[in-house]
Amino acid sequence: MEIWINPACSKCRSAIGLLEAEGADYTVRRYLEDVPGKDEIRAVLERLGLEPWDITRTQEAVAKELGMKEWARDAASRDRWIAALAEHPGLIQRPIITADDGTALVARTDEAVREALARKES
């Protein structure tokens, strides 16, 4: 499994701590440095079963500057959202764990991290 983190984020540090405590086999991706491209964001969204606006931190300053709260949330606008996430990775909600079964979760709670750990390849 892989976890996308911002080391400055307390939820990310908490998730890493739980993965460590559980002895999980995982890879850390500092997504602000190793920025995902549009195709990778699309793939993670598919694994999450979410839309780009569902994982966008709309309270961030850059989101406010872009006026993202007013952007349409429909299929025609999806690429615009994905492009913004690729250009401004700080807007991506964190942490995101790609689970071993091919799914992914936004792991902002201990319960979500435990759920990711429970998802094994079948």
- Give the catalytic positions in this structure: 9
Q: Give, in order, the Cα–Cα distances in Å from 98 to each of 67, 81, 82, 106, 113.
A: 29, 21, 18, 9, 10
- Compute the distance between CA of residue 52 and CA of residue 92 in angstroms, rounded to an integer: 9
- Compute the distance between CA of residue 5 and CA of residue 97 in angstroms, rounded to an integer: 9
9 touches 94 (CB < 8 A): yes
